[in-house]
Amino acid sequence: MKNRPISNALGLILIGFGIITLSPIVVAILEKEYGSILPFVITSSSAVILGVLFKIRGGWVNNFDNIKRSDGLLIVTLTWLLTAFIGAIPYFFYDLSVVDAYFESVSGFTTTGATILTDFSQYPKDFFFWRSLSQWLGGMGIIVLFVAVLPQFAVAGRKIFFAEAPGPTEEKITPRIAHTAKALWLVYVLLTVIEIALLTFSGMPFFDAICNSFTTMAAGGFSPHPQSIMGYNNPLAVWIITVFMFLAGSNFALQYRFLIQLKPRSLFKNEEFKLYIAITVILSLLLALFLLSGKEPDFAASVRDSFFQVVSIITTTGFSSADFALWIIPAQLVLLTVMFVGGCAGSAGGGIKVVRILFAGKFLKREVSQTLHPQAILPIKLDGVTVPDNVQRQMISFLLFYVVIALVSGITVSAIEGNLSVGFVGTMATIGNIGPGFGEIGPMGTFGNLTIATKCIFIVDMIVGRLELIPFMVMLHPDFWKN
């Protein structure tokens, strides 16, 4: 473990992050919310001062070329923990406890969207802008941003880029990792701007269009409206957000090839993307049938809400166009099923990821065939390419760890809260970075009434889920910490 380069890297990131945290001040000035300027000045100062202290500890040397993969994992983990803590500082000024403020901040940066807020009317606009911005930064990844903009990470960026990248494979668009990071952010920003324009055109207030676009493209789910997207009563906006949530849950590298390099075949030849479409369409139609079987069916609303909610859950965005906690049980079971899927690899979505579901299906099929034909050589292929043994082990390990952590968390929270629904649905909603669940933590509910112990467990679930479990499990091994 190389302490000085790690300290220097964290220092650079925190100083840059401190500059970013000044942006809500612009909103405070435009909205004449001058009393909200101080919290973000203190937040920015704290980040910069801490960054300088890390730089002093590291000796101000910006050579990160020799850091190891384990160093990269530690840099990524500490970055997420520290930025979430610093990002919680503004919430302290609005009478949130330390645990609640950190919960809200972690939920933002991990793009989970679970909230402890109850009365939205008491908070200023810059407060909601910061919530949305934190999700937007976390959606593409804080590390990916700084790899894109800081030349110091030109070589070492690969170690930390793939430590943060969501998915089991290391996919580059360009030979240089910094260019790949820039390309991903280009697509991310472009889609965000387009969505802001379309939502404004649909009649949504401009400020709300910005906040909802930030959290849509981040697959986050924080909205400035207390009733989420349902509160706007705007069918056109629902369809627009549905489309952009779907894009947020798709692989951004494929979207770059489709939108920028004009290679549409690369998108539709991808097995994961085709399965992603199939799951979305089939489960949305099934959900629509359940909703249409109700007492007073509304065809347009049923279809619209079905596609919106399935896309919202599968991409782990967590927006709501309806209070699905009031739907019939079969409809809720469809959404519960979608919670076990997640977005595509290389997307803003969390969860297990479609590629791992695809791999698991092929792996089980191969095992059945291998039982019938013991001597046969049956490689597992994705997009026509054989999956290497180390990647197979990584995916299987991820699925096992996911089940174990979900069970431990679910059982523990159920015992604490005395509620199985809160325990297991809450665990799936937080470890999958989805956000709302059912019942009291449903789309119109809040996590604010849970015990401190439960909130702490869910904070860990959100961070572990965003870091894709493996870095967290690796750091539990004693050899990781050997100097």
Full DSSP string of 312-352: HHHTT----SS-GGGS-HHHHHHHHHHTTT---TTSS--SS
pLDDT of residue 44 exceeding 50, the answer is yes
Identity (one letter) of the amino acid at 388?
A: P
DSSP one-letter code for 451 = -
Asked if the model's pLDDT at residue 292 lies above 50, the reply is yes
- Tokens 């991990």 identify what position? 110
Q: What is the pLDDT of residue 201?
A: 95
pLDDT value for 70 = 74
Q: How big, in percent rounded to 5, are the helix, strand and coil portions of the chain?
A: 70, 0, 30
pLDDT score, position 244 = 95
Give 66 or 83, the one with higher predicted confidence. Answer: 83
Least confident of 58-72, 207-221, 274-288, 312-326: 58-72
Average pLDDT over residues 24-30: 93
Rounded CA gap, 80 and 102, in Å? 12
pLDDT of residue 169: 53
Is 213 a residue whose pLDDT tops 60? yes
Q: Which amino acid is at 448?
A: G
Specify whether the CB–CB gap between 235 and 304 falls below 8 A. Answer: yes
The alpha helices in 317-451, defined as continuous H runs, are 329-338, 354-372, 389-417, 420, 426-431
- What are the residue ranges spanned by the domains of the chain? 389-481
pLDDT above 90 for 195: yes
What is the average pLDDT score of the chain?
A: 86
**pLDDT at 236 > cutoff 90:** yes
- Which pLDDT does position 200 carry in this prediction? 96
Single out the residue of 174, 321, 322, 317 nearest to residue 250, CA to CA. Answer: 317
Identify the top-confidence range among 107-121, 129-143, 447-461: 447-461
Q: Supply the pLDDT for residue 374.
A: 84
In contact, 245 and 212? CB cutoff 8 Å = no
Question: How would residue 176 be classed by pLDDT, with cut points 50, 70 and 90?
Answer: low
Confidence (pLDDT) at 12: 85
Task: Check whether 114 has a pLDDT greater than 60.
Answer: yes
Percentage of the chain exceeding pLDDT 90: 43
Percentage above 70 pLDDT, the chain: 90
Q: Is the pLDDT of residue 173 over 60?
A: no
> For tokens 């967290």, what's the residue?
472
Structural element, H or E, at residue 233 = none
Predicted confidence (pLDDT) at residue 267 exceeds the cutoff of 80:
no
In this predicted structure, what is the pLDDT of residue 175? 47
**CB distance 312 to 320 below 8 Å:** yes
Q: Which residues contact 373 (CB under 8 A, 6 or more apart)?
A: none
List pLDDT tens digits, range 337-346: 998 898 888 8
**pLDDT at residue 31 greater than cutoff 80:** yes
Residues 203-237 as b or e (16 or more Cβ within 10 Å = b)? ebeebbbbbbbbbbbbbbbbbbbebbbbbbebeeb
pLDDT of residue 69: 72
- What is the reported pLDDT for 157? 54
Cα(51)–Cα(55) distance, rounded to whole angstroms? 6
Burial 300-312 (b: 16+ CB within 10 A, else e): ebbbbbbbbbbbb
Q: Per-residue pLDDT for 478 more than 80?
A: no
427 contacts 410 by C-beta, under 8 angstroms: yes
The Cα–Cα gap between 161 and 292 comes to 45
Rounded to the nearest 5°, which phi and psi values hold at 385?
-115, 130
Each residue of 299-316: pLDDT tens digit? 888 999 999 999 999 998
User: Which CB contacts under 8 angstroms, 24+ apart, belong to 120-123?
Assistant: 120/224, 120/225, 120/226, 121/226, 122/94, 123/94
Neighbours of 32 (CB within 10 A): 9
Measure the CA–CA gap between 312 and 335, rounded to whole angstroms.
Answer: 10
Contact indicator for 168, 398 with CB cutoff of 8 Å? yes
* Average pLDDT rounded to a whole number, residues 5-17: 86
Q: DSSP for 443-470, please give it.
A: TT--STTS-HHHHHHHHHHHHHHHTTSH
Residue 146's pLDDT is what? 64
> Please, which pLDDT band fits residue 3 given cuts at 50, 70 and 90?
confident
> What separation in angstroms does the CA of 289 have from each of 116, 210, 279, 328, 330?
33, 33, 15, 12, 10
Convert 68-92 to b/e letters by CB count within 10 Å (16 or more is b): eebbbbbbbbbbbebbbbbbbbbbb
**Residue 94 pLDDT exceeds 80:** yes
Q: Which is more confident, 163 or 119?
A: 119
Nearest-angstrom CA–CA distance, 469 and 356: 14
The alpha carbon of 63 is separated from its chain's Cα centroid by a whole number of angstroms, namely 30
Q: Where are any strands of DSSP class E within 179-264? A: none
- 16-25, 424-433, 467-476: least confidently modelled range: 467-476
Closest CA to 421 of 463, 454, 465, 467: 454
Q: What is the CA 192 to chain-centroid distance, rounded? A: 16
